[in-house]
Structure 1
Amino acid sequence: MRIDLVSEPGTAGRPNEDLAAAVVPAGGVGGAVLALDGVTPPRDGVTGCVHDVPWFTARLGGALQELLTARTGTLREALAEAVARTAARHGTGCDLRHVRTPQATVAMARWDAERVEYLVLSDAALLVERTDGEVAAVLDRRLAELPEAVRAQRAAVRALPAGSPEREAAGRAYGRAVEALRNAEGGFFTAAADPSVAARAVAGTLARPEVAALAALTDGVTRYTEVLRLGDWAQLSTALRKEGARAVVARIRAAEAADPDGAAYPRGKRHDDASAVFAEL
């Protein structure tokens, strides 16, 4: 087994809100990969919580690593327990019902000699490379498939001049529309303070002998395929295996720098926190 991991902040001097981890249990049988992407709140900073996003991702990720190592229950059960544990650590000064309470997207997989379990929530991703060379991306498409009216708002924002007051105002309106759909029926779901969200995750099981490699990715890395068009999912998996996770992120950064205002490749941020955990089984 070989594991390659990178986690790089999108902006120098700003905390990395991602968490990336790999777990190899004592005894060396099986393992797990995990990538969390903390959801950056709007600039006004109102979240109803005294804790910041890195505090949340660190504690949610720590709880998940412990549960993945213990190998008890399903991945949905592990996520529910980790969310509950993290919620209990907030304290009375935090309004965990606030739509902006600290939260994260999730991609993880766990394997033993017989099977591979996987789980994805929101716009993180898991790549599965099979032994026959086929690569499949496990995705939760709900954030990408928001109601047409909201997607039209996003397109309208991106059509306005970067840095203009009009774009700033339209961006705030779009943000409010997305917030209204977060962890709501007909919208999309993230790991925040409600353990029941685990039931909303995309999850399943594969036969271990059919899987050659896995990669848990935050959306700062999936933009390689979904935004920057540097290659398809199979090419991304191959680049991670042959060139390494750090080289993949370097290629993403170069493409972003060549299109600083998002004119060719529209995106919400010029650079985003980028994390990848690649495991060649």
Structure 2
Amino acid sequence: MNIVVNEELKAYIDPLTRDEHDALERSLLAEGCRDALVLWGDVLVDGHNRYGICQKHGLPFQTVQNTHFQSMEDVHLWMIDQHLGRRSVSDFQRGVLALRKREIVAARKARAAATPPEPVDEADLPWSSDGPVAAPPPPAPAPDVPSESLSSREAIARAARLSSSQVVAIEKIQKQAAPELVAAVKSGTISLATAATVATLPAEEQVAAAKGGKDELKQAAKRVRDAKQRKPREDKEAAEDAPGQEAPAGGSDDEVRTLRLRVAELTAENEALRAELARLQG
């Protein structure tokens, strides 16, 4: 049997850790390869680690064809759904996979909406002297698009079995985190919330904190949180101390008193004018 290992597919899901791979190898040596490898034609879709171990030790294995795949996107969606359902996948990995699924689904929906149905050529229909004898065939079905659009963070959170705040943290890590910080999250060194906080630092500070280990990463996150708490207080003090600056939105006590006196004066003038008007009319 000719099995093709597509390196892009092999790398699509994060690889096992050294300990996880060793545990799988021990299991296969003791019990054999019980689960069939999934193929798409000759291409290996699921079971890369089992295939490598079986090849290394000459262990027998079975294969099964998935006949529902029509494109590489189908393969990606299937792989994502398989791993989202596995308990061994970390929170960060599940969040990343759910976000990937959102991108694929959104792209499919956009293509389906932008592709008009192909017109039917009546020359391809059987004809009689009165014209075509058969109705045009129905339009080709639109590409299969999963029913859940994953357009909201809540939907992504449900798909990944996470909270919305965890999804926000994962998005921030994906966009801003240095590779060293991402590696710390994947290894379980720090939590998603801590990593998302450290990810707001410049890249060189993230790298330095990651090299320092768990304690240094926690200290870096604490410095970021403390700085956020200090800033509003410092801004307020600077505004109060700066000469010629406008008063804060609420206004100073002197300004409030001045405004109240002016209102009282205008009210008195208004009452006096009303009294004069009533006298003249009477």
Which TM-score band applies after superposition, normalised by the shorter structure? Answer: under 0.3
Q: Given the two structures, how large is their TM-score scaled by the length of structure 2? A: 0.24
- Larger relative helix fraction: 2
Larger Rg: 2
Between Structure 1 and Structure 2, which shows a larger proportion of strand residues?
1
Higher RCO, Cα 8 Å, sep 6+ = 1
